[in-house]
Amino acid sequence: MLKKIVIIGPESTGKSTLCEQLAQHYETAWCPEFAREYLLTNGTNYEFEDLLTIAKGQLALEDEYTITLENQSQTYLENGGHLPLFIDTDMYVMKVWCEFVFNKCHRFILDQIVERKYDLYLLCNTDLPWVDDELREYPDLHTRKKLYAIYKDLMINQAVPWVDISGNYEQRLQRAVSAVDTLLK
């Protein structure tokens, strides 16, 4: 059975790096963040409606990776194994983004939070140094910690198991692997 593991957290907390490392460790796939490509293509001057487009694009990309991985791994799954799919960003991230920037959220995003099912969340903490890039908006630690607190509150108030991921890159990977191994047993 395919296990979906979502990596979430504020900007520049190592989410994409962790997804890539975990996919390599487990010899599987990871679904990248759709927003990155969207903003690189369309510019960083986005509106509220763009976030709905990004959310739908993220879900379509996730579905594409899910179907591809299930098809490629049918033998593995038939033998009783659990194959992980690592997902960089989900609708909780879209909810936080909408509400933090626009003080409202699209109903579609809220509905998808209820409908979509995941097996584990890895919440990346803000203890990595900020890495600037053209798409990131909140370099100050105060705002990053505020966003982390919002994500943590969401994790506490939902039913899917979650693990806080902190430390340097190697410590984060070790903690994530331990959590994923527990899930896959």
What is the pTM (predicted TM-score) of this model? 0.92
Residue 57 has pLDDT above 90, yes or no: yes
Q: At 60, is the pLDDT very low, low, confident or very high (cuts 50, 70, 90)? A: very high
Residue position matching structure tokens 């920037």:
101
**pLDDT tens column, 66-115:** 998 888 776 555 555 678 999 999 999 999 999 999 999 999 999 999 99
End-to-end CA distance of the chain: 12
Please tell me the predicted confidence (pLDDT) of residue 126.
94
Q: Where are the domains of the chain?
A: 2-184
**pLDDT tens column, 119-165:** 999 999 999 887 666 665 666 779 899 999 999 999 999 999 999 99
Give the single-character DSSP code of 168.
Answer: S
Please tell me the predicted confidence (pLDDT) of residue 32.
96
Spell out the SS3 assignment of 108-146.
HHHHHHHHCCCCEEEEECCCCCCCCCCCCCCCCHHHHHH
Please tell me the predicted confidence (pLDDT) of residue 94.
96
**Exposed / middle / buried, residue 170 (Cβ in 10 Å: 0-12, 13-18, 19+):** exposed
For the domain made up of 2-184, the CATH class stated in words is alpha beta
Instruction: Identify the weakest region by mean pLDDT among 23-27, 33-37, 88-92, 130-134.
Output: 130-134
Please tell me the predicted confidence (pLDDT) of residue 43.
87
Residue type, 167: G
Please tell me the predicted confidence (pLDDT) of residue 71.
82
Residue type, 105: C
Please tell me the predicted confidence (pLDDT) of residue 130.
72
Q: Which helix (H) or strand (E) holds 86?
A: strand 83-88
